[in-house]
Amino acid sequence: MINTLNIARLRNAEYYQFMISASDIFAKISIDREYFSLFFDEFDKLLKVAANAMTLEKKSEKIREKNEADRYRDCLHSKLFNHLKSILYDERDVRFQAEKLKRRI
Protein backbone atom coordinates (compact mmCIF):
# COMPACT_ATOMS: atom_id res chain seq x y z
CA MET A 1 0.00 0.00 0.00
CA ILE A 2 1.30 3.45 -0.87
CA ASN A 3 0.86 5.85 2.02
CA THR A 4 2.28 8.92 0.33
CA LEU A 5 3.23 9.57 -3.25
CA ASN A 6 5.26 12.54 -4.40
CA ILE A 7 3.89 12.95 -7.91
CA ALA A 8 6.50 15.61 -8.74
CA ARG A 9 9.25 12.97 -8.48
CA LEU A 10 7.66 10.65 -11.04
CA ARG A 11 9.20 10.54 -14.50
CA ASN A 12 6.93 11.10 -17.51
CA ALA A 13 6.23 7.41 -18.11
CA GLU A 14 5.48 6.78 -14.43
CA TYR A 15 3.32 9.90 -14.22
CA TYR A 16 1.39 8.92 -17.34
CA GLN A 17 0.83 5.38 -16.01
CA PHE A 18 -0.34 6.85 -12.68
CA MET A 19 -2.82 9.09 -14.52
CA ILE A 20 -4.13 6.19 -16.63
CA SER A 21 -4.52 3.99 -13.54
CA ALA A 22 -6.34 6.75 -11.66
CA SER A 23 -8.64 7.27 -14.64
CA ASP A 24 -9.41 3.53 -14.74
CA ILE A 25 -10.18 3.52 -11.02
CA PHE A 26 -12.48 6.52 -11.35
CA ALA A 27 -14.33 4.80 -14.18
CA LYS A 28 -14.50 1.51 -12.31
CA ILE A 29 -16.06 2.92 -9.14
CA SER A 30 -18.30 5.19 -11.24
CA ILE A 31 -17.92 8.43 -9.33
CA ASP A 32 -20.84 10.77 -9.87
CA ARG A 33 -19.70 13.16 -12.62
CA GLU A 34 -22.44 15.65 -11.73
CA TYR A 35 -20.71 16.66 -8.49
CA PHE A 36 -17.14 16.29 -9.72
CA SER A 37 -17.49 17.55 -13.30
CA LEU A 38 -14.88 20.32 -12.85
CA PHE A 39 -12.42 17.82 -11.41
CA PHE A 40 -12.96 15.35 -14.25
CA ASP A 41 -12.69 18.05 -16.90
CA GLU A 42 -9.37 19.22 -15.46
CA PHE A 43 -8.20 15.63 -15.06
CA ASP A 44 -9.02 14.86 -18.70
CA LYS A 45 -7.02 17.93 -19.80
CA LEU A 46 -4.03 16.81 -17.71
CA LEU A 47 -4.31 13.31 -19.14
CA LYS A 48 -4.12 14.73 -22.67
CA VAL A 49 -1.09 16.83 -21.71
CA ALA A 50 0.60 13.73 -20.27
CA ALA A 51 -0.18 11.76 -23.43
CA ASN A 52 1.34 14.52 -25.56
CA ALA A 53 4.44 14.58 -23.34
CA MET A 54 4.82 10.82 -23.76
CA THR A 55 4.51 11.16 -27.54
CA LEU A 56 7.25 13.79 -27.60
CA GLU A 57 9.40 11.74 -25.24
CA LYS A 58 9.18 8.68 -27.48
CA LYS A 59 10.49 10.76 -30.39
CA SER A 60 13.51 12.05 -28.46
CA GLU A 61 16.80 10.30 -29.26
CA LYS A 62 18.34 11.07 -25.85
CA ILE A 63 15.31 9.63 -24.04
CA ARG A 64 15.48 6.55 -26.25
CA GLU A 65 19.15 6.10 -25.32
CA LYS A 66 18.33 6.54 -21.62
CA ASN A 67 15.52 4.00 -21.82
CA GLU A 68 17.83 1.52 -23.54
CA ALA A 69 20.43 2.04 -20.81
CA ASP A 70 17.72 1.51 -18.17
CA ARG A 71 16.63 -1.75 -19.82
CA TYR A 72 20.24 -2.94 -20.01
CA ARG A 73 20.77 -2.08 -16.32
CA ASP A 74 17.61 -3.97 -15.38
CA CYS A 75 18.81 -7.02 -17.33
CA LEU A 76 22.16 -6.89 -15.56
CA HIS A 77 20.42 -6.66 -12.17
CA SER A 78 18.27 -9.64 -13.06
CA LYS A 79 21.28 -11.59 -14.25
CA LEU A 80 23.17 -10.79 -11.04
CA PHE A 81 20.19 -11.77 -8.90
CA ASN A 82 19.81 -15.10 -10.71
CA HIS A 83 23.54 -15.75 -10.42
CA LEU A 84 23.41 -15.08 -6.67
CA LYS A 85 20.46 -17.46 -6.34
CA SER A 86 22.50 -20.18 -8.03
CA ILE A 87 25.47 -19.52 -5.73
CA LEU A 88 23.36 -19.50 -2.57
CA TYR A 89 21.38 -22.59 -3.57
CA ASP A 90 21.15 -25.08 -0.70
CA GLU A 91 19.07 -28.26 -1.03
CA ARG A 92 18.69 -28.55 2.73
CA ASP A 93 17.26 -25.06 3.07
CA VAL A 94 13.57 -25.28 4.01
CA ARG A 95 12.78 -22.13 2.04
CA PHE A 96 14.19 -23.70 -1.12
CA GLN A 97 12.06 -26.80 -0.62
CA ALA A 98 8.97 -24.61 -0.38
CA GLU A 99 9.89 -22.91 -3.68
CA LYS A 100 10.52 -26.28 -5.29
CA LEU A 101 7.05 -27.51 -4.24
CA LYS A 102 5.41 -24.35 -5.60
CA ARG A 103 7.02 -24.91 -8.99
CA ARG A 104 5.66 -28.47 -9.23
CA ILE A 105 2.11 -27.34 -8.63
* Range in 10-14, 48-52, 56-60, 101-105 with the lowest mean pLDDT: 101-105
> Could you tell me which residue, 80 or 11, shows the higher pLDDT?
80
pLDDT of 73 reads: 93
Q: In the chain, where are the structural domains located?
A: 10-59, 61-105
CB-CB contact of 23 with 61 (8 Å):
no
Q: What is the pLDDT of residues 32-55, one digit of tens each?
A: 777 888 888 888 898 888 888 888
Query: Cα(88)–Cα(65) distance, rounded to whole angstroms?
Result: 35
Query: Cα(26)–Cα(33) distance, rounded to whole angstroms?
Result: 10
Q: What is the pLDDT of residues 22-36, one digit of tens each?
A: 888 887 887 777 788
Nearest Cα residue to 7 out of 15, 36, 62: 15
